[in-house]
């Protein structure tokens, strides 16, 4: 029949058959290519994706390293935080019965209400959260269960389907507020924390050190989390555990702090005339810190258990700044504790000799401006050692003229002032040691001669932290070596790398022996001299060397005759300061104290140092110490004494 059809029709039919065959061939080629791509080229990828759907990974949190004091007393541990968790699916299955009726999860919450004192808003929040997730996934109802709540639930667990108790490690600070600024506290991780610790893989909701050694030692304290591999079905329900990798706990660390001395320091500061301040006690020959106290303190446990709104508001608005570590963040004019810097600068530059004297009539005049000594009647002709002992301002005004601001500036930097001490804690402030260049750069102005005089007695622009003053007086005590202070004992070395003999100094001031001996003699006279400004704060059976000081807060007002007018406003009162070391002939400890708005250094700061140093030497003799407080037994800090009722002497030093 085809032969009878027109030839054009036959050609057209063949073309259609060829097109159809080609299309079918192309389709099968595409399908084959796709199968080849999916099964051979991408088969491994999809196999892994299928395994991911089948295997669920759960992290096992690692226990954080503990913290001990130098005597191996436990300061920070990890207590179990008992949490109540429910599986809504089980409650729905077992409690949704005709005779009981209603929603099974709601029925379970009704059973838990008298045990946990659940409020209606809590119940509604739980129901809302349950509606957002699958019924077989766990739901946390309550954290930080008390022992009473725990026992009530455990005794009724058989009647509470789907309820389990889980224990998660929770940070616990055993000493409460004691040494809180040194130890620090923890908080929830933020983006800045992830940038700060790039080698740590944080998870949302993780806790991280916020301050103190909790912050600086984060990489050592933080352990390595473990892992559970669970087989789950298509709905995500657990079938069985395939493998478990146990977590590695963080490293324990040992602080150099002595908690007996730390407690005495905090009490002494709280009971002082000002009630607030800081104290640093360190080994002058190594930089090892025995005390780093800042008052007032705070309870780091509150950052774990949580603050009430009014508690947090009160904490951050407190004018005495309890969250500030004043030992490294408080910047104050050093007052007369700075005068040894001027003496050493003058001796080094040959501007002062042992037998030099200066006549003090109670003031000196420069360019028609009168600069007063603290002793209005003056000291008369006074020598170097007595100028230190009695803190004669006029003597140091004269030295300031001889040395100049640049000489004072250089000597201060050599003794660790005006620069970071290098302690391994975040937030340390550098203080300030002014110079001509600094003033030109910052204030766009020249330096005036009168500013040198004010700087020489530790006032004006100069600022220092208690930690820097401790470094300074330690360098004077040991003959010139400046050490970096440290708070954490170095890690034990293995047998192939034995421990070194001790920390090496950052640098050494090469004082001439006779020069440093003159300063030591003057500082010893401060405490043991008949006219010494700290003569009422002698230690029990140990000779001490020191220097009192007054850190001016507001401009002093005087009468026409020059008499100093004391402010009745406590916040305008001067800070009391003291630095020292003991024993005077072979120093073991060095101290720096500031009592905020405490007035005279001799009457209010030196007694604080005496209490702590007396306790140190009592411990050296083996005397028994009273037990330390715990977070449960610690009493609140003593209320500050009323500054208006505190005794004030005419000697501000």
Q: What is the DSSP string of 412-476?
A: HHHTTTTS----S-TT----B---HHHHHHHHSSPPPHHHHHHHHTT-TT-BB-HHHHHHHHHHH
pLDDT digits (tens, 9 = 90+) for 419-462: 999 999 999 999 999 999 999 999 999 999 999 999 999 999 99
Label residue 653 by pLDDT band (50, 70, 90). Answer: low
Distance (Å, whole) CA 56 – CA 625: 54
Distance (Å, whole) CA 422 – CA 582: 24
Label residue 29 by pLDDT band (50, 70, 90). Answer: confident
The predicted model gives 493-521 an average pLDDT of 79
DSSP 504: P
Q: What is the DSSP string of 362-392?
A: SEEEETTEEEE-SSTT--EEEEHHHHHHHT-
Task: Report whether 193 contacts 221 (CB < 8 A).
Answer: no
Residue 72: pLDDT over 90: yes
Label residue 99 by pLDDT band (50, 70, 90). Answer: very low
Residue 593: pLDDT over 90: yes
**Which tokens belong to 21?**
């065959």
Q: State how far the alpha carbon of 1 is from the alpha carbons of 6, 17, 465, 575, in Å.
A: 10, 18, 114, 123
Residue 609: pLDDT over 80: yes
The predicted model gives 144-173 an average pLDDT of 81
Q: In this predicted structure, what is the pLDDT of residue 645?
A: 32
Residue 495: pLDDT over 50: no
| Domain at 259-301+326-487+511-629: CATH architecture | 3-Layer(aba) Sandwich (3.40)
Least confident of 64-78, 225-239, 340-354, 639-653: 639-653
pLDDT digits (tens, 9 = 90+) for 269-318: 999 988 999 999 999 999 999 999 999 999 999 988 788 888 888 888 88
Q: In this predicted structure, what is the pLDDT of residue 566?
A: 55
Residue 1: pLDDT over 80: no
Could you tell me which residue, 100 or 545, shows the higher pLDDT? 545
Residues 6+ apart with CB under 8 A from 533: 389, 390, 391, 526, 548, 601, 602, 651, 653
Label residue 649 by pLDDT band (50, 70, 90). Answer: very low
Q: In this predicted structure, what is the pLDDT of residue 47?
A: 58
Q: In this predicted structure, what is the pLDDT of residue 646?
A: 34
Least confident of 66-80, 321-335, 411-425, 541-555: 541-555
Domain boundaries, the chain: 61-254, 259-301+326-487+511-629
Distance (Å, whole) CA 653 – CA 527: 12
Handedness of CA 116, 117, 121, 127 (dihedral sign): positive
| Domain at 61-254: CATH architecture | Alpha-Beta Complex (3.90)
What are 245's strand-pairing partners? 227
Residue 7: pLDDT over 70: no
Q: What are the DSSP E strand ranges found in 439-496? A: 481-482
Task: Report whether 280 contacts 467 (CB < 8 A).
Answer: yes
Residue 650: pLDDT over 50: no
pLDDT digits (tens, 9 = 90+) for 357-393: 999 999 999 888 999 999 989 999 999 999 999 999 9
Q: Which residue in the block uniquely carries the two structure tokens 């739901």?
A: 139
The predicted model gives 161-184 an average pLDDT of 87
Pairing between β-strand 253-254 and β-strand 67-68 as defined by DSSP bridges: parallel
Label residue 503 by pLDDT band (50, 70, 90). Answer: confident
Highest mean pLDDT among 91-105, 124-138, 383-397: 383-397
Q: Which residue in the block uniquely carries the two structure tokens 């905090």?
A: 266
Mean pLDDT of the chain: 84
The alpha carbons of the chain give a radius of gyration, in whole angstroms, of: 36
Measured N-to-C along each axis, helices 104-116 and 120-131 cross at an angle, to the nearest 10 degrees, of 140
Q: What are the DSSP E strand ranges found in 461-501? A: 481-482
Least confident of 20-29, 134-143, 314-323, 562-571: 562-571
Residues 6+ apart with CB under 8 A from 225: 59, 60, 61, 62, 247
Could you tell me which residue, 578 or 163, shows the higher pLDDT? 578
Label residue 466 by pLDDT band (50, 70, 90). Answer: very high
Residue 363, exposed/middle/buried by CB under 10 A (0-12, 13-18, 19+)?
Answer: middle
Q: What are the DSSP E strand ranges found in 87-137? A: none
**Which tokens belong to 606?**
């030196």
Q: In this predicted structure, what is the pLDDT of residue 8?
A: 65
Distance (Å, whole) CA 505 – CA 600: 33
The predicted model gives 250-276 an average pLDDT of 95
pTM: 0.80
Distance (Å, whole) CA 496 – CA 274: 52
Handedness of CA 441, 447, 450, 453 (dihedral sign): positive
Q: In this predicted structure, what is the pLDDT of residue 648?
A: 36
**Which tokens belong to 68?**
């001990």
* Main-chain dihedrals φ then ψ at residue 279, nearest 5 degrees: -145, 135
Q: In this predicted structure, what is the pLDDT of residue 635?
A: 43
Could you tell me which residue, 194 or 637, shows the higher pLDDT? 194
Q: Which residue in the block uniquely carries the two structure tokens 């007063």?
A: 372
pLDDT digits (tens, 9 = 90+) for 555-585: 655 455 555 555 555 667 899 999 999 999 9
Distance (Å, whole) CA 349 – CA 436: 19
Label residue 552 by pLDDT band (50, 70, 90). Answer: confident
């Amino acid at each position: 029949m085809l032969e009878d059809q027109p030839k054009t029709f036959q050609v057209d039919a063949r073309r259609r058959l060829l097109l159809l065959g080609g299309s079918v061939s192309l389709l099968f080629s595409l399908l084959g290519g796709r199968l080849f791509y999916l099964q051979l080229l991408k088969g491994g990828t999809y196999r892994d994706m299928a395994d991911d759907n089948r295997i669920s990974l759960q992290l096992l949190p690692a226990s954080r390293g503990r913290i001990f004091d130098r005597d191996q007393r436990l300061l920070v541990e990890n207590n179990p935080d008992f949490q109540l968790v429910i599986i809504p699916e089980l409650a729905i299955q077992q409690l949704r019965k005709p005779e009981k009726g209603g929603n099974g999860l709601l029925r379970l919450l009704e059973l838990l209400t008298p045990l946990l004192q659940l409020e209606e808003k809590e119940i509604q929040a739980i129901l809302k959260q349950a509606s957002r997730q699958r019924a077989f996934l766990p739901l946390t109802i309550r954290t930080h269960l008390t022992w009473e709540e725990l026992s009530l639930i455990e005794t009724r667990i058989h009647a509470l389907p789907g309820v389990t108790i889980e224990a998660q490690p929770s940070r616990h600070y055993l000493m409460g507020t004691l040494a809180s600024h040194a130890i620090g506290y923890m908080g929830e991780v933020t983006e800045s924390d992830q940038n700060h610790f790039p080698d740590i893989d944080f998870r949302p909701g993780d806790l991280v050190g916020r301050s103190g050694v909790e912050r600086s030692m984060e990489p050592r304290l933080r352990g390595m989390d473990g892992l559970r591999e669970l087989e789950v079905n298509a709905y995500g329900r657990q079938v069985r555990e395939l493998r478990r990798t146990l977590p590695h706990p963080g490293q324990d660390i040992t602080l150099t702090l002595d908690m007996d001395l730390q407690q005495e320091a905090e009490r002494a500061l709280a009971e002082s005339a000002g009630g607030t301040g800081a104290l640093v006690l360190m080994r002058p020959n190594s930089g090892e810190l025995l005390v780093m106290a800042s008052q007032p303190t705070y309870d780091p446990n509150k950052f774990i258990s949580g603050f009430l709104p009014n508690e947090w508001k009160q904490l951050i608005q407190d004018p005495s700044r309890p969250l500030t570590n004043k030992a490294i963040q408080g910047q104050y004019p050093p007052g007369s504790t700075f005068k040894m810097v001027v003496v050493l600068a003058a001796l080094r530059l040959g501007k002062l000799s042992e037998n030099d004297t200066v006549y003090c009539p109670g003031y000196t005049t420069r360019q028609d401006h009168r600069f007063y000594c603290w002793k209005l009647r003056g000291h008369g002709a006074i020598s170097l050692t007595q100028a230190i002992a009695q803190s004669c301002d006029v003597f140091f005004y004269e030295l300031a003229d001889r040395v100049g601001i640049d000489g004072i500036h250089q000597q201060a930097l050599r003794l660790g002032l005006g620069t970071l001490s290098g302690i391994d804690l975040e937030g340390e402030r550098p203080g300030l040691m002014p110079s001509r260049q600094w003033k030109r750069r910052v204030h766009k102005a020249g330096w005036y001669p009168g500013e040198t005089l004010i700087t020489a007695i530790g006032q004006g622009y100069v600022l220092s932290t208690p930690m820097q003053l401790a470094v300074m007086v330690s360098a004077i005590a040991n003959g010139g070596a400046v050490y970096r202070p440290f708070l954490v004992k170095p890690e034990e070395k293995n047998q192939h790398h034995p421990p070194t003999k001790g920390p090496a100094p950052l640098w050494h001031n090469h004082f001439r022996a006779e020069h440093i001996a003159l300063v030591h003699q003057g500082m010893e006279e401060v405490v043991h001299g008949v006219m010494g400004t700290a003569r009422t704060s002698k230690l029990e059976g140990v000779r001490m060397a020191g220097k009192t000081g007054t850190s001016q807060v507001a401009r002093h007002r005087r009468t026409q005759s020059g008499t100093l007018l004391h402010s009745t406003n406590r916040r305008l009162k001067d800070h009391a300061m003291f630095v020292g070391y003991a024993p005077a002939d072979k120093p073991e400890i060095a101290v720096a104290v500031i009592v905020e708005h405490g007035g005279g250094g001799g009457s209010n700061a030196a007694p604080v140092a005496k209490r702590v140093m007396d306790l140190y030497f009592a411990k050296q003799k083996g005397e028994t110490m009273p037990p330390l407080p715990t977070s449960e037994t610690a009493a609140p800090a003593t209320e500050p004494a009323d500054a208006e009722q505190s005794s004030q002497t005419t000697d501000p030093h």
